[in-house]
């Protein structure tokens, strides 16, 4: 199964963002390899599930392409190399027209554009049972392999294994913090240093500042396997005391190139983390012990090859976090939605059971809201719901949860709150809604009111579903009582509402709030 790729690209000619994004979307880990330093990550035999990718630039010379094929044959014998056309549409068409020539040179297949890569790799994978991926003999040994500087075979294979372990772990990161921890755990296993730090770039007023994301101190004598003990490595406590970014790190961010130098007796390396032509951050390594050696050219090349997938993982983790946040957020009001409510309520009730505390639920429904839509249109009604969110939020604590449940219904969850306190919060929100003048986004001036139902765990309900059902039922009693008021569900009504499907209003089963407490 093809799940790993080595992109042959120099530091001065990084692959197009479309190519790396296509591999990420296809679930394929990738490593950047400078052809001039091919011995860093090459292995003497075929690596299962591995392919080589080479981005063919417009008007690439045949001699240069032959050198790439020869380099691949020398360092990754038997591994298929795929050509991917780069440039604009006309250049891509020109490249596609030369597909036969490229295959004659030794390329296993040709992708007209990066978007074709996942499907092309799957096609190659399907042919694997009958095709051993041997490169044509006539394309081998076109350059002298002695011109490549080879590392010891064992060291080379170990670095390759650890590099791909890092890339596979990066694909699982769900947020930037986790991606940063994974990256530093892998980097520490590959290149020794006393401290590794990832800084994120922030641009304000045209000036770029660097903020530490995560930091890892390592013991230079320790053996970091980064395989079976991966989980232990990732969940090690990171160090909260992080020094400011070095001059080399600022220089790397500004010049967008790897910087290797000495500062105040320390050996430093800083590599920009670039994705889609944007510098997301900088990877900084420091050797500060007495007699520490400079980072070697071999180490710089390896780190440069890892910087692109690390940057891609940081960018991808932001997209994942944004997608998750959007899935739990109401598009209109920007409050939490019903999906988030379920997660939040389950956690709070678990906590309440453990610590013998209470959780209150307020269910509120706007009174006669249909009239606003009928009189002024749905756009005004939608804006009024947005205004409603700004009225409710200041009336609750940061630890409380405010949810748009659907339509003109809202739910407020109050952890560690009993009946009396829940009633006071509900009445405060009710009064603010009644007093607020809504504009509907069109300089209108109208008022709204809401009916509230209250239920408390474990007084009225013993599960999250029953708690919401009881609060909903109490809200319907408030509607029946004339609207713009509050009702608390009784114990008897709660026992008859084990799930949301039985949330019908039964007036005689509810406690009535004394008239002097109601502000109608």
Q: What is the tens place of the pLDDT at every residue in 43-95?
A: 434 445 788 888 887 777 887 888 888 888 887 887 889 988 876 666 666 66
- CA 326 remoteness from chain centre: 12
Q: Which residue has the higher pLDDT, 203 or 451?
A: 451
Domains of the chain: 1-150 (3.40.50.2300), 153-326 (3.30.450.40), 338-517 (3.30.70.270)
**Known catalytic membership, residue 408:** yes
How confident is the prediction for the chain on average, in pLDDT? 79
Q: What is the tens place of the pLDDT at every residue in 384-400?
A: 999 999 999 999 999 99
Residue 507, pLDDT above cutoff 90: no
Catalytic entry in 34, 367, 400, 408: 408
- At 378 the pLDDT is 92
Which two three-digit tokens encode residue 512? 């009535």
HSE value, Cβ hemisphere, 13 Å, CA-based, for 207: 3
Q: Which has the minimum average pLDDT: 69-78, 368-377, 438-447, 468-477?
A: 69-78
Residue 415, pLDDT above cutoff 90: yes
Q: Is 290 helix (H, G, I), strand (E, B) or coil?
A: coil
311-342 in b/e form (b: 16+ CB < 10 A) is bbbbbbbeebeeeeeeebbbeebebbbeebbe
- At 174 the pLDDT is 75
- pTM here is 0.51
- What's the CA gap between 215 and 180, in Å, rounded? 8
Residue 114, pLDDT above cutoff 90: no
Given CA atoms 341, 343, 344, 345 in this order, what sign does their dihedral have? positive
- At 169 the pLDDT is 79
**Residue 124: Cβ within 10 Å count:** 17
Q: Is 496 helix (H, G, I), strand (E, B) or coil?
A: coil
Residue 265, pLDDT above cutoff 70: yes
Question: With pLDDT > 90 as the criterion, what percentage of the chain qualifies?
Answer: 38
- Name the residue with tokens 């590794």: 196
- At 128 the pLDDT is 53
CB 13 within 8 A of CB 130: no
Residue 224, pLDDT above cutoff 50: no
- At 92 the pLDDT is 60
- At 449 the pLDDT is 95
115-129, 170-184, 232-246, 502-516: range with highest mean pLDDT: 170-184
Which two three-digit tokens encode residue 454? 């209250």
pLDDT band at 510; cut points 50, 70, 90: very low
């Amino acid at each position: 199964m093809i799940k790993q790729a080595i992109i042959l690209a120099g530091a001065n000619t990084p692959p197009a963002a479309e190519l790396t994004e296509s591999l990420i979307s296809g679930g394929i880990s990738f490593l950047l390899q400078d052809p001039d330093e091919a011995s860093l990550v090459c292995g003497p035999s075929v690596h299962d599930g591995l392919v080589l990718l080479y981005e063919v630039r417009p008007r690439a010379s045949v001699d240069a392409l032959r050198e790439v094929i020869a380099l691949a044959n020398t360092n990754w014998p038997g591994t298929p190399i795929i050509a991917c056309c780069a440039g604009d549409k006309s250049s891509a068409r020109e490249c596609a027209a030369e597909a036969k020539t490229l295959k004659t040179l030794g390329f296993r297949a040709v992708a007209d554009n990066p978007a074709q890569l996942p499907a092309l790799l799957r096609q190659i994978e399907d042919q694997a049972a009958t095709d051993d991926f041997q490169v044509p003999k006539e394309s081998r040994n076109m350059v002298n392999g002695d011109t490549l500087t080879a590392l010891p075979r064992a060291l080379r294979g170990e670095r390759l294994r650890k590099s791909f372990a890092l890339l596979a772990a990066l694909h699982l990161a769900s947020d930037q913090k986790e991606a940063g921890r994974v990256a530093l755990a892998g980097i520490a296993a590959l290149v020794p240093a006393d401290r590794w730090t990832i800084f994120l770039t922030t641009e304000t007023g045209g000036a770029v500042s660097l903020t530490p994301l995560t930091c890892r101190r390592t013991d230079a004598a320790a053996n970091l396997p980064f395989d079976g003990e991966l989980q232990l490595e990732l969940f090690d406590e990171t160090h909260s005391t992080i020094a400011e970014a070095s001059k080399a790190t600022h220089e790397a961010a500004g010049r967008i190139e790897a910087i290797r130098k000495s500062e105040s007796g320390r050996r430093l390396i800083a590599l920009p983390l670039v994705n889609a032509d944007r510098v997301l951050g900088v990877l900084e390594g420091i050797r500060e012990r007495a007699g520490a050696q400079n980072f070697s050219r071999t180490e710089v090349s390896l780190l440069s090859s890892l910087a692109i997938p690390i940057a891609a993982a940081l960018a991808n983790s932001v997209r994942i976090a944004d997608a998750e946040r959007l899935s739990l957020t109401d598009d209109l009001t920007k409050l939490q939605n019903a999906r988030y409510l379920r997660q939040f309520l389950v956690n709070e009730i678990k906590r309440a059971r453990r610590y013998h505390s209470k959780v209150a639920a307020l269910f509120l429904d706007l009174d006669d809201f249909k009239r606003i839509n009928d009189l002024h249109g749905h756009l005004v009604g939608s804006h009024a719901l947005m205004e409603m969110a700004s009225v409710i939020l200041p009336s609750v604590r940061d630890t409380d949860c405010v949810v748009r449940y659907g339509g003109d219904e809202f739910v407020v969850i109050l952890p560690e709150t009993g009946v009396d306190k829940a009633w006071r919060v509900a009445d405060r929100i009710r009064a603010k809604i009644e007093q607020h003048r809504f504009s509907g986004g069109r300089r209108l001036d109208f008022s709204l009111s809401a009916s509230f139902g209250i239920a408390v765990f474990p007084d009225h309900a013993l599960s999250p579903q029953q708690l919401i059902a009881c609060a909903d039922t109490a809200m319907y009693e408030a509607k029946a009582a004339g609207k713009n008021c509050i009702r608390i569900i009784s114990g008897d009504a709660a026992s008859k509402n084990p799930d949301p499907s039985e949330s019908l209003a039964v007036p005689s089963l509810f406690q009535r709030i004394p008239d002097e407490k109601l502000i109608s």
